[in-house]
């Protein structure tokens, strides 16, 4: 873990930003030919890239009912019950996000806004070094509450040509029955442009590696997307009374995602920095994911030393992290000062995994500073809004002169004429 002074932050930030920009452009150039292949060759291209990137030859792309039945038989029934309880918790948190139609009316006009669910949504679930049934729940449940009729799940297969049984069971518990064994940027392009086997969707959601994120960036406009998510992030603000064992454990909980995950500690205490570094070494040495964590602790784990909690919060607001833990005394007192974060975890007994799996808040969160303008995934991401309006003849005539003058000011004379022909002001 590298220690950086508060005064050195600007230079650190600019270097990191430039590095990310160069990498993003490089990845975009790499995946454009894949997009063209999916457009031109459809399923054949999907089979080709699955063989190339996942090292498996598939007989078919779609998961069968028999595969889902086998998935249930391969996992413990207690885990199924845990999934069900998590589902209840996530539903409970997200249901209040459902918006209602509203309208304004009197005898002369009727104005309103109405909501419609997006009809067909693609859900990307990562494969790779871990399993993500939690991402199925976090992405699909808000869509279900919104009223999305068709949810299409894609996930890269393992070397046996199968999707992780935990993912399949989580999907089945939510009645998702259109599941395809494809991953990477090619899966995003298949959802966007469609193939013989896979009908195109209206919007794509779900986390993935940088190739998936850049593919979503490339197709935005052809379809909607939730966000362009970068590597996972955690930022912990700690005072001198914070528990270094907890801090180290929480930093590592995000570091194990991949070697590009960003883990930051901001503290006012040199002693805390020393103790956390010692704890990191101890916990990494005992970890089952030691290889990833060892690289992480030297390449993408940083500590900023500040002069006050207020200064720490200022720094955090500029970084705008995905996950923010306030491991300080009376964290609720400082909640109003947090301007930018995906999700905020208050106190030493609210580690980030509570939000990942259980409490009900969504774990699909903005990264790479995007919480300055973007929110966690929610029911609102699966809903379209439409306005409607009706004027009476009397109302239009009363307001016509103002509307005509406004249109003329923009030199849009046909706009003005559309009012004139209905009223008594024809020339």
Q: Which residues are catalytic?
A: 322-323
Distance CA 242, CA 303 (A): 15
Residues paired with 225 in a beta bridge: 204
Which tokens is 209 given? 């590696």
Helix, strand, or coil (residue 204):
strand
For the chain, the straight-line distance linking the first and the last C-alpha, in angstroms and rounded, comes to 77
109-117/383-391 β-pairing: antiparallel
**Which of 48, 45, 49, 43 lies closest to 61, judged by CA?**
43
Distance CA 203, CA 223 (A): 5
**Other beta carbons less than 10 A from residue 365's beta carbon:** 25
Residues paired with 346 in a beta bridge: 326
Which tokens is 201 given? 């969707």
User: Pseudo-torsion of CA 160, 165, 170, 176, nearest 10°?
Assistant: 40
DSSP state for residue 107 in the 8-state scheme: S
Q: In what order do the strands lie in the sheet with 150-154?
A: 178-180, 150-154, 120-124, 203-205, 224-225
Residues paired with 179 in a beta bridge: 153
Residue in this structure with the two tokens 């704890």, named with its chain if needed: 279
DSSP state for residue 63 in the 8-state scheme: P
* Whole-number Cα distances in Å, 42 to 34, 52, 390: 11, 16, 46
- Whether 381 and 204 have beta carbons less than 8 Å apart is answered as no
In sequence order, what are the residues at sequence separation of 6 or more whose Cβ sits closer than 8 angstroms to the Cβ of residue 41?
Answer: 48
Distance CA 49, CA 64 (A): 21
Distance CA 97, CA 258 (A): 32
């Amino acid at each position: 873990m590298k220690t950086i002074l508060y005064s050195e932050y600007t230079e650190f930030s600019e270097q990191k930003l430039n590095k990310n920009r160069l990498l993003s452009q490089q990845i975009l150039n790499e995946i454009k030919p894949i997009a063209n292949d999916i457009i031109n060759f459809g399923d054949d291209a999907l089979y080709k890239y699955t063989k190339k990137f996942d090292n498996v030859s598939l007989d078919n792309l779609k998961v069968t009912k028999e595969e889902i039945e086998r998935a249930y038989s391969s996992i413990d029934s207690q885990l199924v019950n845990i999934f069900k309880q998590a589902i209840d918790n996530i539903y409970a948190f997200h249901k209040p996000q459902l918006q209602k139609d509203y309208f304004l009316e009197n005898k002369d006009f009727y104005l309103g806004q109405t909501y419609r669910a997006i009809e067909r949504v693609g859900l990307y679930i990562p494969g790779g070094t871990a399993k993500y049934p939690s991402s199925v729940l976090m992405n699909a449940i808000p869509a279900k509450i919104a009223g999305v009729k068709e949810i299409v799940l894609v996930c890269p297969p393992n070397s046996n040509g199968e999707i992780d049984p935990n993912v399949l069971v989580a999907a089945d518990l939510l009645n998702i029955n259109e599941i395809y064994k494809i991953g990477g940027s090619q899966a995003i392009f298949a959802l966007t442009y469609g193939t013989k086997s896979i009908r195109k969707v209206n919007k794509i959601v779900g986390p993935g590696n940088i190739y998936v994120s850049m593919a979503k960036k490339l197709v935005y406009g052809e379809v909607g997307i939730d966000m362009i998510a970068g590597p996972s992030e955690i930022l912990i603000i700690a005072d001198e009374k914070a528990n270094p064992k907890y801090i180290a454990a929480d930093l590592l909980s995000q570091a194990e995602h991949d070697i590009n995950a960003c883990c930051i500690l901001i503290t006012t205490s040199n002693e805390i920095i020393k103790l956390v570094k010692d704890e990191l070494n101890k916990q990494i040495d005992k970890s089952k994911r030691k290889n990833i964590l060892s690289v992480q602790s030297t390449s993408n784990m940083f500590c900023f030393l500040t002069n006050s909690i207020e200064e720490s919060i200022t720094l955090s607001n500029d970084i705008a992290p995905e996950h923010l833990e306030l491991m300080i005394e009376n964290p609720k007192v400082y909640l109003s000062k947090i301007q930018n974060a995906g999700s905020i975890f208050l106190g030493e007994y609210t580690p980030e995994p509570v939000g990942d799996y259980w409490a009900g808040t969504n774990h699909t969160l903005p990264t790479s500073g995007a919480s300055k303008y973007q929110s966690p995934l929610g029911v609102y991401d699966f809903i379209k809004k439409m306005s409607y309006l009706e004027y009476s003849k009397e109302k239009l005539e009363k307001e016509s002169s103002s509307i005509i003058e406004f249109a003329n000011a923009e030199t849009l004379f046909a706009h003005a004429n559309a009012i004139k022909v209905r009223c008594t002001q024809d020339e």
